[in-house]
């Protein structure tokens, strides 16, 4: 990085001219969903802490989570959690040295998108039914 | 300015801390633990969406629930701490900003992690 900073040559991976591919898009999505999940985890911690504190504190938290912003955030978090979980399992499989051919990586990537979206739908349909 | 130090002496302590493999393995160990714990948690939350405070406390008084939730929170906060550390190190190059960001984020995660585990056990043993 610093060695190239002086001579103004472009730095790898040349994002300005890099053609988006399912591999690169799913990779950065894994990182982005991880960060989003961290914020969800912080809110979950606050939810538990308010539940342990008082009726008033928990009521304000429940009001926030029941508001439009709260529900929208939970819908987003449900998908980011399932995506990061499924793609994380994909990473664990790669760590064993399996599924690393380009065709297999593309197939498992599509599978991750399908499974994580299906799980999100199933979760919200179950929530509505129960 | 003349520098009598050898090239090795100049770079020593500036490079790898040789902790990368441990970080990588811990990220994966926590990930494996989280697969069943997160699935259990998301499933449970769906059943308890409409619960009031008393019902949630009653749910947490089941020892299995308190233990699984504790394990889930510990694994999740640890996994988040490892992950966000790499993200900060990758994108924030200014040393002062990087050190401050790492301190703030990781101490916040530690505080919320300890706070949530205490909250679970306070309700579990109430």
Q: What pLDDT, in 10s, does the model give residues B89-123?
A: 999 999 999 999 999 999 999 999 999 999 999 99
* Residue B2 in domain: no
In CATH, the number for domain A22-129 is: 1.20.1300.10
Measured between beta carbons, the chain A residues lying within 8 angstroms of B35 are 85, 88-89
Q: Which of B113, B123, B48, B61 is nearest to B84 (CA)?
A: B113
Calculate mean pLDDT across residues B71-84.
Answer: 98
* Average pLDDT of chain B to the nearest whole number: 92
Q: What pLDDT, in 10s, does the model give residues B28-47?
A: 999 999 999 999 999 999 88
CB distance B49–A127 less than 8 Å?
yes
Interface contact B102, partner A, CB < 8 A: no
Interface contact B91, partner A, CB < 8 A: no
Domain extent, residue B77, equals 19-124
ipTM: 0.89
Q: What pLDDT, in 10s, does the model give residues A11-70?
A: 676 777 888 899 999 999 999 999 999 999 999 999 999 999 999 999 999 999 999 999
Beta-carbon neighbour count of residue B79 at 10 Å?
25
For A65, name the nearest residue in chain B, comparing CA atoms only. B49
Instruction: Write the CA distances from A3 to A6, A75, B47, B57, integer angstroms.
Output: 7, 44, 55, 57
Rounded Cα gap, residues A77 and B68, in angstroms:
21
CATH number at residue B68: 1.20.1300.10
User: Does residue A3 have a pLDDT over 70?
Assistant: no
Number of domains chain B contains: 1
Token pair of B95, please?
């040393």
Residue found by looking up tokens 């499974």 in the block: A115
């Amino acid at each position: 990085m610093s060695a190239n900073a002086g001579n103004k040559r472009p730095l790898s991976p040349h994002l300005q001219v890099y053609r988006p591919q399912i591999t690169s898009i799913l990779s950065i999505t894994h990182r982005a969903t991880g960060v989003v999940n961290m914020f969800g985890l912080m809110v979950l911690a606050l939810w538990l802490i308010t539940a342990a504190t008082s009726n008033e504190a928990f009521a304000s938290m429940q009001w926030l989570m029941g508001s439009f912003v709260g529900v929208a955030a939970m819908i987003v978090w449900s998908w980011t959690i399932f995506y990061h979980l499924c793609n994380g399992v994909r990473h664990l499989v790669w760590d064993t040295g399996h599924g690393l051919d380009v065709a297999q990586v593309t197939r498992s990537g599509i599978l991750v998108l399908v499974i994580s979206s299906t799980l999100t739908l199933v979760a919200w349909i179950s929530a509505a039914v129960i | 300015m003349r520098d009598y130090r050898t090239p090795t002496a100049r770079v020593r302590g500036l490079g790898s801390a040789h902790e990368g493999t441990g970080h990588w393995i811990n990220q994966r160990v926590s990930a494996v633990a989280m697969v069943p714990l997160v699935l259990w948690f998301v499933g449970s939350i769906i059943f308890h969406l409409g619960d009031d405070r008393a019902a949630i406390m009653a749910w947490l008084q089941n020892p299995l629930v308190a233990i699984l939730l504790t394990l889930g929170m510990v694994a999740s906060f640890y996994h988040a701490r490892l992950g966000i550390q790499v993200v900060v190190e990758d994108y924030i190059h200014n040393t002062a900003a990087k050190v401050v960001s790492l301190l703030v984020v990781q101490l916040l995660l530690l505080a919320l992690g300890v706070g949530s585990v205490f909250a679970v056990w306070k309700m579990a043993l109430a």
